[in-house]
């Protein structure tokens, strides 16, 4: 395999790992909605059933600039560590992808292929960056909870239902209690905004897989612009773009996209046996 082919294949692998780290892999639930909500509840002394607790062992290093170190918070819980560990993994994966895309320049990859590769992976990388931001905000909210004296606000409140569905979410269970509890105290700045962002996170693996398929569909649709660009360029440019999107196809197929634009893309690139049904270039 040529070095550039390895880059395209590695990018597809990393993009797939991103999707799995955001919950498409049932074994990776650090970036699911329930984990973020549980981290906030546990920071206020709420008891969470043990079978909802993710496995320990996530890293404790900083997940980005502006995050106060863990030592400022007296109580640290498994769900917050799981969320932090997942955010660190997303940072690592997106960093590797950025590095590989940047490396294409030194490999003399056609600029069109580099640009289109970046565009193709932008949807899943954007989703990952948004999840990382949620993790940062949850950490900040945890610090505000402690500093405002709300560290025991939910002490004695027990979450009795385990599971990864809407009804089992901490927010749902708190809202169904008498008296009814809100997950965040008023002392948390931008609390409503944070809860809105958390609500867009996947609930379980099936939910995450559906989201990744939507992202894969977006990635496949971007190839439509690649067709015109590739056919308008020379043979070298077409070859580079074809190689790039054969790599992208690995990611798209992996998450079940229909690939409506890929068959068109893989044809019409100057390969006679595939170009029989192609319309003339415009």
* Buried/exposed 164-197: b ≥16 CB within 10 Å, e otherwise: beeebbbbbbbeeeeeebebbbeebeebeebbeb
pLDDT at 19 over 80: yes
Under a CB-based contact definition with an 8 Å cutoff, are residues 139 and 35 in contact?
no
pLDDT of residue 55: 38
Closest Cα partner for 131 from 202, 191, 53?
202
Q: How far apart are the first and last CA of the chain?
A: 34
- The model's pTM: 0.80
Closest Cα partner for 251 from 10, 67, 90, 87?
10
pLDDT of residue 163: 81
pLDDT digits (tens, 9 = 90+) for 82-135: 999 999 999 999 999 999 999 887 778 888 778 888 888 999 999 999 999 999
Q: Is the dihedral of CA 142, 144, 150, 153 positive or negative?
A: negative
Beta bridge partners of 158: 47
Residue 207 pLDDT level (bands cut at 50, 70, 90): very high
pLDDT digits (tens, 9 = 90+) for 36-94: 999 999 999 987 765 444 434 433 333 333 332 333 333 334 799 999 999 999 999 99
pLDDT digits (tens, 9 = 90+) for 157-195: 888 887 888 999 999 999 999 889 999 999 999 999 999
pLDDT at 263 over 80: no
pLDDT at 246 over 80: no
Share of the chain above pLDDT 70, in %: 73
Mean pLDDT of the 267-280 span: 46
pLDDT of residue 1: 47
Could you tell me the CA-to-CA distances from 138 to 24, 79, 121 in Å, in that order?
21, 11, 26
pLDDT at 32 over 90: yes
For the chain, how big is the Rg over CA atoms in Å? 22
Average pLDDT in the chain: 79
């Amino acid at each position: 395999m040529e070095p550039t082919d390895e880059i395209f294949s590695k990018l597809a692998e990393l993009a797939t790992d991103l999707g799995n780290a955001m919950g498409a892999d049932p074994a990776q639930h650090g970036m699911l909605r329930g984990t973020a909500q549980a981290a906030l509840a546990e920071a206020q002394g709420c008891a969470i059933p043990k079978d909802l607790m993710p496995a320990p062992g996530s890293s404790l290093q900083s997940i980005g600039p502006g995050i106060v170190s863990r030592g400022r918070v007296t109580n640290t819980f498994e769900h917050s560590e799981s969320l932090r560990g997942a955010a660190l993994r997303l940072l690592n994966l997106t960093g590797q992808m950025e590095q590989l895309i940047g490396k294409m320049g030194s490999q003399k990859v056609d600029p069109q292929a580099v640009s289109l590769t970046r565009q193709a992976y932008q949807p899943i990388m954007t989703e990952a960056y948004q999840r990382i931001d949620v993790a940062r905000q949850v950490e900040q909210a945890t610090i505000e909870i402690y500093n405002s004296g709300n560290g025991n606000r939910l002490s004695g409140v027990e979450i009795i239902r385990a599971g990864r569905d809407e009804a089992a979410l901490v927010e749902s269970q708190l809202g169904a209690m008498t008296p009814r509890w809100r997950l965040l105290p008023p002392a948390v700045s931008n609390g409503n905004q944070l809860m809105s962002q958390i609500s867009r996170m996947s609930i379980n693996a099936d939910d995450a897989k559906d989201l990744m398929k939507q992202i894969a569909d977006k990635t496949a649709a971007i190839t439509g612009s690649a067709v015109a660009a590739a056919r308008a360029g020379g043979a070298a440019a077409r070859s580079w773009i074809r190689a790039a999107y054969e790599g992208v196809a690995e990611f798209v197929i992996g998450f079940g996209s229909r690939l409506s634009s890929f068959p068109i893309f893989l044809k019409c690139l100057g390969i006679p046996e595939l170009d029989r049904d192609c319309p003339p270039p415009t």
